[in-house]
Chains A and B, each alone.
Chain A
C-alpha cells in the first residue's frame, strides 16, 4: 500500500464548478499535512497547509479527518488558471524532515 494515495484523475470541470479531491495516508502517526500545486513543467509549490480544525484560503478549503486518515481539498468557483496537478503531502516525525508526496490529481478546468 502506498503511503499517500490519490485519485490520479483527470478531473475535467467547467469554469465556475466546485471540485473536491481526497487523499488517504497510511501512517497514523503523521502530523503535518499539505496540498501542493504543480503546473506543467514547473516545480511543486505550496498551496496550503492543512490543520486539524480545517482551513480556508479564498476559494480553497482543506479538511483533515484523522480518524479515517484522509485529507480533502475543495475548490469553489473553478478558474481556468486552477488547471494543474494537485499533490497531497504528509509528514511525520518518524520520517525525520522528509515529506511523502502523493502522485497527484490532475485538474483541467475548461471554458
Chain B
C-alpha cells in the first residue's frame, strides 16, 4: 500500500511568495495532521482534520497559514505571504479513527523541506 504522499519534497522560494504544500493520506484513514519541524522548536502540530473537517487549528502560527481538506484523499497547507522564519520541514500524517479509547498511530509522509530566502 502507498504511504502518505507529499509534494513537493523540496521548495525554495523568496520572501513574500505564496507556498502551497500538498498531501495525500493513506487510503481509508480519516484523520489528517500537518506538522512543522525545526531544530529550535522540534515537531509542532499545526492543524488536524477528522473526516475532512478541521478540528484543532490552535497550532497554526498566524493568519498567513491556512489549510484545507476538500476531500478524503487530499489536503493543502498554504503560506501567504511566506517569510524566512517559515523555513522548516513540513510533515503530513494520517491515522484511523479512535476506537474505544485507543488513539491509533500516525503514519508520516516524507515531508516537504521549505526554504524561504
Contact = CB atoms under 8 A, between A and B. Distances in A.
B105 A43 contact: no
Contacts of A32: 101-105
Contacts of B31: 97
Given A43-B110, A104-B42, A97 B95 contact: yes
A1 interface: no
B68 interface: no
B19 to A, nearest CB: 19
A43 B109 contact: yes
A103 interface: yes
B78 interface: no
A27 to B, nearest CB: 12
A82 B50 CA distance: 34
Nearest to A99: B106
Nearest to B49: A97
B103 A49 contact: no
Nearest to B59: A98
B107 interface: yes
Given A32-B103, A91-B103, A96 B111 contact: no
A95 B109 contact: no
B52 to A, nearest CB: 13
B48 to A, nearest CB: 6
9 contacts: A31-B101, A32-B102, A32-B103, A34-B105, A43-B110, A93-B103, A97-B50, A97-B95, A97-B103
Interface of B: 31, 33, 42-43, 45, 48, 50, 55-56, 89, 91, 95, 97-98, 101-111
